[in-house]
Amino acid sequence: MVHALLYLVVSFLAIAVVFYILGAPFIAALEVIVYAGAIVVLIIFVIMMLNLKQESVEQEEKWLTKKVWIGPAILCTILLIELAYILTTSDATVLQDKEVDSKAVGMALYGPYVIGVELCGLLLMSGIVGAYHLGRQKKKVIHRFLEKAEE
Amino acid sequence: MNSIPIEAGLLVAGILFMLGLISVLIRRNIIFMLISVEIMLNAAGMAFIVAGSKWMQTDGQVMFIFILTMAAAEVSVGLALILQIYHQLKTLDSDAANKMNG
């Protein structure tokens, strides 16, 4: 599972390089800092808290048989082929090599998109409250003799 | 650098999205499903960046920042849910959590 996270970091870094090539260096930096930094560290913390043993890896191998993945893979490949067909049959347009600088992004964020920024703040606040509420351990108030009898 | 067709960027985003979609369909471990959703959100953001780079507008990058915020909120709530499910069911199997307990 930790290996999957390491490959996820590699994927995020590769996407950041693609963003840099596409002329969005600010977004590339955000990708590295927020995704490859913060979110992956969060998932690693949870995996460390769960303290999964070797049998979870074996169970994962048992779940992932060929019969399971062949159907969804074929369907998704068909979807991808359709998408590629639509993309390649339209007339080709070439991207410009100028970059959109972060100053313009900031001006757009606090100009026409200020409502969106406030909504993002609301979303983050509700995310914090929801994560706190879900992560709280509920105290059991069962009497200890009753609890022993239940087991 | 100045001759990247827009189809290439959109195709990379599509492939990435399909990989995430396949993974979220075939996995039964909830942590892996959460990671796959992250990959799919990343692919959607990449499509936004490509489009914003095509028209030289800032809107694509603004949308990516919104997606980033949404992904951060989603992953925090999702991980709290995973912890809660693991404490109650002692497993990470998503099929184990198919009974309502009201």
Separation between Cα atoms, residue A42 and residue B38, nearest integer Å: 13
Q: What is the CATH number of the domain that holds B16?
A: 1.10.287.3510
* pLDDT band, very low/low/confident/very high, at B2 (cuts 50, 70, 90): low
Q: Band the pLDDT of A140: cuts 50, 70, 90.
A: low
In a domain, B1, yes or no: no
pLDDT digits (tens, 9 = 90+) for A113-134: 999 999 999 999 999 999 999 8
- Residue A63 Cα distances to A68, B9, B26, B95, angstroms: 8, 34, 9, 12
Tell me how far apart the alpha carbons of residues B34 and B40 are, in angstroms, rounded to a whole number. Answer: 10
Could you tell me the residue ranges of all domains in chain A?
1-52, 100-151
In a domain, B63, yes or no: yes
pLDDT tens, residue by residue, A79-98: 999 988 888 887 767 776 67
Nearest by Cα to B45 from A70, A35, A90, A129: A35
B96 part of a folded domain: no
Question: Among A95, A112, A127, which Cα is nearest to B62's?
Answer: A112
Q: How far apart are CA A109 and CA B66, in angstroms?
A: 10
Percent of chain A with pLDDT strictly greater than 70: 88
Q: Do B7 and A56 touch (CB under 8 A)?
A: no
Instruction: Check residue A141 and give its pLDDT.
Output: 64
Render pLDDT for B40-93 as a digit per residue (tens, 0 to 9).
999 999 999 988 888 888 888 999 999 999 999 999 999 998 888 888 888 888
Q: How far is A23 from chain B (nearest CA, A)?
A: 7
Q: Are A128 and B86 in contact (CB under 8 A)?
A: no
Residues 70-109 of A with CB under 8 A from B: 72-73, 76-77, 79-80, 83-84, 87-88, 90, 92-98, 100, 104-105, 107-109
Residue A112 has pLDDT above 70, yes or no: yes
| Residue B80 resides in a domain | yes
* Portion 4-23 of B in contact with A at CB < 8 A: 4-7, 9-12, 14-16, 18, 21-22
A150, exposed or middle or buried, with CB in 10 Å at 0-12, 13-18, 19+? exposed
In a domain, B98, yes or no: no
Q: Please, which residues have CB within 8 angstroms of residue A94's CB and are 6 or more apart in sequence?
A: B2, B3, B4, B5, B6
Q: Is the pLDDT of residue A15 over 70?
A: yes
- pLDDT bin (cut points 50, 70, 90) of residue A29 is very high
* Region B88-101 average pLDDT: 79
pLDDT at position A149? 54
* Residue contact B5–A100, C-beta within 8 A: no
* Confidence band for A59, pLDDT divided at 50, 70 and 90: confident
What is the number of structural domains in chain B? 1
Report yes or no on B2 lying in a domain: no
**pLDDT for the residue B40:** 94
User: Which of A69, A93, A97 lies nearest to residue B2, judging by beta carbons?
Assistant: A97
Phi and psi at A99, nearest 5°, equal -105, 145
Interface test with B, best of A6, A31, A39 (most B CBs within 10 A): A39
Spatial separation of the C-alpha atoms in residues B59 and B6, rounded to whole Å: 17
Query: What pTM was estimated for this model as a whole?
Result: 0.85
Chain A (34-63) residues lying within 8 Å, Cβ to Cβ, of chain B: 34-35, 38-39, 42-43, 46-47, 49-50, 52, 56, 60, 63
Instruction: Determine, yes or no, domain membership for B78.
Output: yes
Alpha helices by DSSP H, A22-53:
25-30, 40-50
The 10 Å CB-count burial string (b at 16+, else e) for B55-87 is eeebbbbbbbbbbbbbbbbbbbbbbbbbbbbbe
Torsion B45-A11-A58-A48 (CA) sign: negative
Whole domain around residue B55: which residue ranges? 7-90
